[in-house]
Amino acid sequence: MTATVLRNAPTVPVYAGQSLAVTLAANPGRHLKLGPGTFDVPVSLAPSANTIIEGVAGATILRSGAAPTTPIINITTNGVQVKGVAFSVLSGVATSRGYGVHVHGNAANVVLEDLSGSGFVMTVAVGYGATGAGDGTVTNLSMLRVRGNTSPNSWGIGLDDCDGVSLIDCYGTGNWLDGLKLRKKTKNVTVLGGEYSGNGASGTGDGIDAYAGGDTFVISGTICDDNAGNGLTIKQALASPPITTAEFGYVRNVQLANLRARNNTNGSGLYMSADPGVPLVSHVSVTGGLFEGNSQHGVYLGTRNATVVGAIAKLNGEHGFITEGDAMETTLSACLAIANSQSLANGFDGFNLSGFNGKVLGCQAIGVNGDDVDDSTDYAALTKYHRNGVLVTSIATGSWYVGAGTTSTHHLTSPSATGLASAMTSGDCRIDAALAAFPNTTGAWGSMGGRVVHTSAPQPFDVEWIKTVGAPNTPTSGWTRGVQFQPMAALPVAAVAMRYATVVLTGGAGVADVAYLCRKNAADAYEWVVI
């Protein structure tokens, strides 16, 4: 990104040793051009509308007083720009509102560029009104190459009560809690690039934490590694004291693209969830991304109407992809789960699916890590980690579909030859896969009252089996072939595998269709009869 073009305002040079507060008050709406050096700012600067404060990047420092409780720059007006300065704390620990820059009230059209800070409660705080409650809505704020590092008690950059904020190539590292926080009524936020890594000095903290009011935001090409929590948390919550949607807003309309979240030590790469009694995080699109080496899951979805396309979950401690029991209407497409369950081989799955209604399309689960071998023929000698490639769990409900090219290899204990399994106890699960003769010990798991649909020799068409009796997780018993009408040009050979199958021979022009049932006759032979 190129630097922001500053307005053609009258320029006022300011040198180290001059009083910045006096100069600022005497030159409202002008362009203060600060030279290199350190400017002590014991009392907050309050620039008037359209003021520009520009330093020399890497050389101009604005220093607070000891143990600051107020911000160095306090912005409540329109059109203010701050560029090319670093913020530092004279001594002691910043507390209360000891920020580098505070943008709040109804400030609008503010630009922050090439700023850095260390040791503040937040380097940049947006919103966070005078009493902690909102005192307006900040609109149209741009941050470019802003760094918020090593907060001793909070997060690097915090957003609150704002609408229309962009963060481009910004950074938050080494903070007590999170690198970037979207806290309350943050609307229309765009995060492009940048990195929020190594946070959680307190023992817990995320790279980015959108909790509990991120409404309509985009995060793209951003890195969230090595945090002491999740790489990225997106959560709708009801806590004590209550965090309500009326006060904090909704978490919805989420677009995530090409993220990297690796080696987060006390959580997942991407974690999206909601506490009971509040709306789920809703309307989510995840495109691409690498979620690798996290202590828990690669991608955790407690969402409504979420689509994940082309994401990679690799070498995570627990499941690669997991949908929780409250999740609704989830689609996973062309995703790749590789050698997850690193914390316990045979303990977790490539895809572990619960919740109401979902689809898994064209995904791959590979239970071994093939990074260090030349080709897939060497995989057999590697440690197998996945318990199941794809498991639709016993608490999944509604209608699930696993198919359209989904495969699993080198899993451990799934009774399915392809590692695609359903343990549903209600609803139905359709599994489209080339399974061996079904039902048997290499067939798909079943669900009481549910369905498994598959293609396998010798029948050249989809076969539906319905679980009618027996334990819900037993693959070998309790299956009855469902009633199906399969349009065909010719009858297959009648055999035990065809028993109960119903097919229709389609007639040409002027010729009626004919329906047939495969049955065992009194001679214990199998035949097709017209029905």
Decide which of 489 and 7 is more confident: 489
Q: What is the pLDDT of residues 468-479, one digit of tens each?
A: 555 544 444 565
Percent pLDDT > 70 in the chain is 82
Query: What is the C-alpha separation between 380 and 387, in angstroms, rounded?
Result: 15
How does strand 299-301 pair with strand 101-103? unpaired
* CA 45 vs CA 49, 80, 82, 102, 449: distances in Å: 13, 12, 12, 10, 69
Q: What is the DSSP string of 68-90?
A: --S-SEEE-SBS-EEEEEEEE-S
Is 389 in the same domain as 345? yes
Question: Is 57 part of any domain?
Answer: no
pTM metric for this prediction: 0.84
Question: Is 108 part of any domain?
Answer: no
3-state helix, strand, coil in the chain (%, to 5): 5, 45, 55
Question: Is 461 part of any domain?
Answer: yes
Q: Across-strand partners of 370? A: none
> In this model, does residue 308 exceed pLDDT 90?
yes
Is 402 in the same domain as 508? no
Local structure of residue 381 (DSSP, 8 states): G
User: Which residue range forms the structural domain that includes residue 429?
Assistant: 327-480
Question: Is 444 part of any domain?
Answer: yes
pLDDT band, residue 176 (cuts 50/70/90) = very high
Q: What is the pLDDT of residues 333-391, one digit of tens each?
A: 999 999 999 999 989 999 999 999 999 999 999 999 988 787 767 777 888 899 888 88
- pLDDT given for residue 401 in this prediction: 84
Question: Is 364 part of any domain?
Answer: yes
Is 365 in the same domain as 463? yes
Is 334 in the same domain as 443? yes
Question: Is 28 part of any domain?
Answer: no
Q: Which helix (H) or strand (E) holds 194?
A: none
Lowest mean pLDDT among 227-241, 283-297, 409-423, 465-479: 465-479
Is 400 in the same domain as 502? no
| Closest C-alpha among 493, 492, 485, 494 to residue 513 | 485
Residue 414, token pair as written in the block: 């799934």
Lowest mean pLDDT among 234-243, 319-328, 350-359, 464-473: 464-473
Is 461 in the same domain as 418? yes
Is 447 in the same domain as 398? yes
Question: Is 74 part of any domain?
Answer: no
Is 449 in the same domain as 518? no
Q: Number of H helices and number of E strands within the chain?
A: 2, 41
> In this model, does residue 500 exceed pLDDT 90?
no
Is 458 in the same domain as 511? no
Question: Is 117 part of any domain?
Answer: no
Helix (H, G, I), strand (E, B) or coil at 498: helix
Q: How many structural domains comprise the chain? A: 2
Is 369 in the same domain as 460? yes
Is 505 in the same domain as 470? no
Residue 324, token pair as written in the block: 């929780």
Is 420 in the same domain as 498? no
Please answer whether residues 123 and 154 qualify as being in contact, where contact means their C-beta atoms are separated by less than 8 angstroms: no
The answer for residues whose C-beta is within 8 angstroms of residue 362's C-beta and 6 or more apart is 333, 334, 404, 405, 406
